Structure 1
Amino acid sequence: MTTTEQDTASPTGRTTGWHRLRVARTRPLTDDAVALTLDLPDRLAGAFAHRPGQHVTVRHVMDGSEIRRSYSICPPPSEPRELRLVVKRLGPGGFAEYATTVLTAGDTLDVAPPNGGFGLAEHPGAHHVMVAAGSGITPLLNMAAAALRDDPRCRVSLLYASRSARSVLLADELADLKDAHVDRFLPLYVLTRETREAEMLSGHIDTTRLPGLLRAVGAEPGGPTYFYLCGPWGMVTSVREALTRWGADPARTRFELFSLATQDPSPPAAELQGRTMRITASLGGRTAVAVMEEQDRTALDALLRVMPDTPHSCREGLCGSCRARVTHGTVTTGRQYVLGPGELTAGYTLACRARPESDETRLDFDL
């Protein structure tokens, strides 16, 4: 494992760098998923204070290569301050296989502080309708528990797709949450590879099945109803389309992806044509200058040469770890799934998707 860089705090209070945290407990959830509880020293309590829906980035070295993965913070509803991550293995190799088969209590992980804008709408008395597939339950469980705990007038409905009853993640905690809020929390489980007595609870949550599920939980297109989607590209895309056709306000639909159907290519390589394109980046109160080269596809490629601790994880515009504000010059932001219209208008971009257009560009990761 690589040496941890020195932790620094930005002028705005954002903590940057990496923190080596000890694994306090591991708990198998299913055959291919594990819950990792990390020991958080008192001195780091502020750095890792999080809002429901946020995630952290984990850095690990395997076979001499560094890999980074983002995982939603998913504390048990009874311990909302606990730093717990749920890791699900989707295939052979990679960090997930290591976490689910090798990692044990006492081991350490390099972890970056919480990040991300996925979260609850601030609307007392709202009906929060959450749609999850697979490990997409991890941020939504945290958000559901927080809503029920902090707003006694709200309702929460959960539509959760999983392959089978055995593969439902955190089923015991969802059951406990239902028992604690029997009149305000309604979970429906949709199984894709098992047949259930109710037809609408067998199969995928798609454009055909969704309207009936929404009626079952008493959701309405208007009023104080908000929708939260988390899962793979196909599910999130089809549910968003179905909600729009159903009459839901797109401005009240929030989503987070954990995978794409296919790898989304970065913007084209910079065509320098004799130009010198410089990027000045501010991070944690430090400043560095990078120069775009022909092989660079994004600003992140150039910045990593001069500022190796530039925050990043997925490189696909999914996690938002590399969010920065353009304070001078212009960039073209390729396809991304994190920044909303307001943030784009305010000048924010993702370094992993940004291609400078001006000779001089300044990015601030601390704003």
Structure 2
Amino acid sequence: MFHPLRVSRVDELTDDSVAITLAVPPELRDAFRHTPGQHLALRRLVGGEEIRRTYSICAPASPPGVDPVLRVGIRLVDGGEFSTFALKELAVGDTVEVMPPMGRFHLDPRQGYFAAIVGGSGITPVLSMVTTLLEREPKARFCLIRSDRTVASTMFLDDVADLKDRFPDRFQLVTVLSREEQQSGLPSGRLDRERLTGLLPALLSVAEVDGWFLCGPFGLVRAAETALRGLGVDRSRIHQEIFHVDDGSTTVTAPATAPSHAALTATLDGRSGSWPVRDGESLLETVLRARADAPYACKGGVCGTCRAFLVSGEVRMERNFALEPEETEAGYVLACQSRPATTEVELDFDR
């Protein structure tokens, strides 16, 4: 369910990115408490068309009894209707429709040694993670490896520098610029699999890290995952969230030929219904014809908002950049990318 929230602050981070702070009214404080790493779905209407986008929360999680702070980082995307609106029009006092926090790319504060490899705006959820962790858990350590084009394009530069000043013994920061030489530190260039394979063991004891968090564009996340697996890191210790997928660099599974007269039964917010699946429809589109409140945001298999449990039947997912292998093995699918492979399919959005 979306709620109207007032914009209380707009901060320019770089020439092409801003941080938006949203005020949470008292009656919605519990609904909008977030776990470090979660994101928000934002919605606006343009010419009668609904536009939804997801943006990660960069603010640390508020402890019980303290009002939640909702602050999201938004980077301009070429042709992006919502990001263009956010950077050029959104102002303090405006109202934005927002869905409560969601997402499973998160880190609950606990003792241990953690590390993240991020690119560009991928810093946004990790900033929430590392800030919350270091503030709440005195025995935790964190290594942040971030890749950006130039210093001028680096989001949350001051916020990360502040963490280094506050927690010099427990926070390690490694910065790599792909298009600009640094006066000190690592040489410029992209963080590909080969470079990460050599770099990571030189920076830290890879085997001692309790959890790796990878976030950013598809190429970086896949390169980092491959490098870590090659260095012997178990899959269960690698968590990832992809912010951008270049269709030219990925393989999309060919759409399944749906059986004739396929039917979908779905449960959402405790209510169930059954509907025929029309030719060419995804299962999310089938549900949306009858239930406008069905959860979704990107419709591209990236954000994971439309995750549902496959109760019965079989489906074929065309793309999946949101669900961990453990989730798909447990029976979860992305409704926006799923098409029926059997005459009857049942989904549960509530599990």
* TM, length-normalised to structure 1: 0.88
Q: Secondary structure at the match of 2:101?
A: coil
Shift of 1:157: 0.7
Shift of 1:282: 1.5
**1:122-201 equivalences in 2 (<5 Å):** 124-198=110-184, 200-201=186-187
Shift of 1:109: 1.0
Q: Secondary structure at the match of 1:114?
A: strand
Decide whether the 8 Å contact of 1:267 with 1:353 is kept in 2. Answer: no
Match of 1:70 in 2: 54
Shift of 1:319: 0.9
Shift of 1:252: 1.1
Gaps of 5+ in 2: none
Decide whether the 8 Å contact of 2:255 with 2:318 is kept in 1. Answer: no
Decide whether the 8 Å contact of 2:312 with 2:346 is kept in 1. Answer: yes
Match of 1:238 in 2: 223
For 2:86, the aligned partner's letter is: A
1:235-255 alpha-carbon deviations (Å, 9 max, x no partner): 111111122222322321111
1:306 to 290, 314, 320: 290
**1:30-69 equivalences in 2 (<5 Å):** 30-69=14-53
* TM, length-normalised to structure 2: 0.91
Shift of 1:198: 4.5
Distance 2:233 2:242 in 1: 20
Match of 1:112 in 2: 99
Matched, 1:97 2:84: yes
RMSD after superposition:
2.2
Check 1:40–1:267 CA distance in 2 against 1; reply closer, same or farther (3 A cut). farther
Match of 1:350 in 2: 334
1:260 to 238, 245, 250: 245
**Which shifted more, 224-233 or 95-104?**
224-233
Matched, 1:319 2:306: no
Match of 1:11 in 2: none
Shift of 1:73: 1.0
Q: Secondary structure at the match of 2:305?
A: coil
1:162-189 alpha-carbon deviations (Å, 9 max, x no partner): 1111221111111111111110001111
Decide whether the 8 Å contact of 1:75 with 1:81 is kept in 2. Answer: no
Match of 2:73 in 1: 86
Distance 1:329 1:126 in 2: 41
Shift of 1:358: 2.9
Distance 1:201 1:82 in 2: 37
Gaps of 5+ in 1: 1-16
Distance 2:150 2:82 in 1: 24
Check 1:209–1:328 CA distance in 2 against 1; reply closer, same or farther (3 A cut). closer
Aligned length: 346
Decide whether the 8 Å contact of 1:200 with 1:213 is kept in 2. Answer: no
Decide whether the 8 Å contact of 1:206 with 1:238 is kept in 2. Answer: yes
Q: Secondary structure at the match of 1:248?
A: coil
Check 1:270–1:310 CA distance in 2 against 1; reply closer, same or farther (3 A cut). farther
1:84-142 alpha-carbon deviations (Å, 9 max, x no partner): 111100224411011001100111111111111101277x5422111111100000011
